[in-house]
């Protein structure tokens, strides 16, 4: 959201590295959880829908697309009718 809502603001640029680092840690945990799984649970759930919606905001970066497991998860979830209805 810093990039989208506060682009060009000095405080946002200064804070971005810390926010990216925090996000990277969470993405590592998500990647580890998803290894060998298609979704968070044994089927597509509201949790997947929520995670996909949040990750969709990151499309302007390579934070998700640069991680094959997460990129495939994102693609799977975005292809679902539940995501398309959002």
> CATH code at 41?
1.20.1050.10
**Looking at the domain assignment, is residue 45 inside a domain?**
yes
pLDDT tens, per residue, the chain with 86 residues: 767 677 788 888 888 888 888 888 988 999 999 999 999 999 999 999 888 888 877 777 777 888 899 999 999 999 988 777 76
Give me the domain span that covers residue 80: 24-84
* Angular region, 16: left φ>0, alpha ψ -120 to 50, beta rest: alpha
d(CA 23, CA 52): 14
**Looking at the domain assignment, is residue 67 inside a domain?**
yes
The tally of domains found in the chain comes to: 1
Model-level pTM? 0.74
**Looking at the domain assignment, is residue 8 inside a domain?**
no
d(CA 14, CA 30): 26
């Amino acid at each position: 959201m810093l990039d989208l809502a506060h682009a060009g603001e000095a405080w946002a640029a200064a804070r971005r590295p810390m926010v990216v680092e925090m996000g990277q840690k969470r993405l590592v945990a998500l990647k580890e959880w998803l290894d060998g799984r298609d979704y968070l649970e044994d089927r597509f759930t509201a949790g997947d829908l929520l995670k996909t919606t949040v990750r969709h905001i990151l499309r302007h970066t390579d934070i998700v697309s640069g991680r094959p497991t997460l990129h495939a998860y994102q693609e799977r979830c975005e292809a679902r009718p539940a995501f398309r209805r959002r």
